[in-house]
Amino acid sequence: MSSPERTWKTIESGPHTYMEALHPVVRKNYGNWKYHEIPRPGVLKHVAESGDALFTVRAGTPRQDTVDMVRQLCDIADRYCDGHLRFTVRNNVEFLTPKEENVEPMIRDLEAMGFPVGGAGNCVSSVSHTQGWLHCDIPATDASGVVKSMMDSLYDEFKHMEMPNKVRLSTSCCSINCGGQADIAVVVKHTRPPRINHDNLSMICELPKAVARCPVAAIRPTVVNGKRSLMVDEAKCICCGACFGACPAMEINHPEHSKFAIWVGGKNSNARSKPSTMSIVAHNLPNNPPRWPEVTEAVGKILTAYKAGGRPWERVGEWINRIGWKRFFEETGLIFDEDMIDSYRHARTTFNQSAHVRF
């Protein structure tokens, strides 16, 4: 990559500095905020010890953006927020202004440009998700498309605060689940062992690395048609796809056999219950572009039941802990099956080690 005429000398500066990015009112009250409230969906009002107030207008974005779109967002920030904005970890954009009179026109402009205002408080916020077919080298689907389809159906839930507590969603294009743990997660689930491309395996893979990558020791070296290659003990294989990351010839992705699973009850906040990981509640849903209706429908069933039955402050997982898994499956119409009984490490911790029974 070296070019002889290069004149710039790299500065290994790390993250971009942030102080100049902060609105003067933010800088003035840095570390001295007193409380906040949510006067209306998508709007936060923070009040500082000094008495200063700061209004935040939050809007959904497609996450998969363009320079034109970012410039549009900058236009809004220049018009109403003295040139300051920020993003949330869930791809929402936030505009910060001390001027309450800017809130209404800003909402009007954002909505007119197609950016829904909402995503704060007890609502379904934007989906944290992965790259997919647009750019990833191991995806089985396109999270951006799944998310767009799902959020079209949850548009009103983003813009209104009618849920028992906040709802966080994620979507991931393989079982690694870079989208993350969430109240409800839509994650690719491979259902068959990898197909092995013996023709080029030894040319593109380090065999010992691929063997070592398997968490259940199902991969062994072998020779196929005189070439060094690998074989998979299909009875042992758990279809995790870890080998594919180490060796692209272990083709785990399949247009029909890479399916979707739905997971619920992930929570990272420490509020009330300790943080919790997700449980699987539906699987074998088809990977069905361009709109993935089966996924949207399953997520909708869960949200409808949670919205109707959750008590104030209960996150999805906390709601299920109260009503029990039996009623969760009854109320959502999803079906519990034998594959949902854990068979991996620490499985016993998920067995019911008590005489507590729900009828």
Partner 1 sequence: MEENKGASSCSSHGCNHSNGGRGEKFLNPTPMLDELEKGPWPSFVSGFKNLAERTKKPMLRGVMDQLEYSYNTKMGYWKGGLVTVDGYGAGVITRYSMIKDKIPEAAEFHTMRIQPPPGLHYNTAMLREMCDIWEEYGSGMLTLHGQTGDIMLQGIDEANVQECFDKLNEKGWDLGGAGAGMRTAVSCAGPARCEQACYDNLELHLHALRHFVGQLHRPEWNYKIKFKFSACPNDCTNSIMRSDLAVIGTWKDAIQVEEAAVTEWIEEKGVDALVNQVINLCPTRAISLQDGGMKIDTRDCVRCMHCLNAMPKALSPGKERGVSLLMGGKNTLKVGVNMGSLIIPFMKMETEEDREKFMKLVEEIIDWWDDSGLDHERIGETIERVGLRQFLDGVGLDVDINQVSRPRDNPYFKAKY
Place of tokens 């953006």: 65
Contacts of 209 (CB under 8 A, 6+ apart): 246, 247
Judged by CB under 8 A, does residue 284 bind partner 1? Answer: no
Q: Which of 39, 105, 215, 293 binds partner 1 (CB under 8 A)?
A: 215
Between 35 and 359, whose beta carbon lies closer to partner 1?
35
> Whole-angstrom Cα distance, residue 271 to residue 342?
27
Q: Which of 4, 112, 235, 270 binds partner 1 (CB under 8 A)?
A: 270
Judged by CB under 8 A, does residue 51 bind partner 1? Answer: no
Judged by CB under 8 A, does residue 87 bind partner 1? Answer: yes
Q: Which of 4, 17, 51, 338 binds partner 1 (CB under 8 A)?
A: 17
Nearest approach, Cβ of residue 46 and partner 1 (Å): 6
> Whole-angstrom Cα distance, residue 60 to residue 42?
10
Judged by CB under 8 A, does residue 15 bind partner 1? Answer: yes
Judged by CB under 8 A, does residue 6 bind partner 1? Answer: yes
> Which is nearest to 118 in space by CA: 156, 80, 149?
156
> Which is nearest to 160 in space by CA: 307, 311, 309, 331?
307
Q: Is 122:166 a contact under the CB 8 Å cutoff?
A: yes
Judged by CB under 8 A, does residue 132 bind partner 1? Answer: yes
Phi-psi sector, 79: left (phi>0), alpha (psi -120 to 50), beta: alpha
**For residues 145-204, which are near partner 1 according to CB under 8 A?**
145, 148-149, 151-153, 155, 175-181
Q: What residues does 227 pair with on adjacent strands?
A: 224
Judged by CB under 8 A, does residue 96 bind partner 1? Answer: yes
Q: What is the DSSP letter of 348?
A: G
Range in contact with partner 1 (rule: CB under 8 A) among 11-19, 192-200, 299-307, 319-327: 11-19
Pairing of strands 169-172, 128-129: parallel
Between 28 and 330, whose beta carbon lies closer to partner 1?
28
Nearest approach, Cβ of residue 9 and partner 1 (Å): 9
Judged by CB under 8 A, does residue 308 bind partner 1? Answer: no
Judged by CB under 8 A, does residue 115 bind partner 1? Answer: yes
Pairing of strands 53-59, 93-97: antiparallel
Judged by CB under 8 A, does residue 338 bind partner 1? Answer: no
Nearest approach, Cβ of residue 59 and partner 1 (Å): 9
- Kindly state the number of chain residues that form the binding site for partner 1, as judged by CB under 8 A: 121
Q: Which of 41, 42, 43, 46 binds partner 1 (CB under 8 A)?
A: 46
Upstream peptide bond of 290 is cis (omega within 30 degrees of 0): yes
Look up residue 24 and give its two tokens: 């003067």
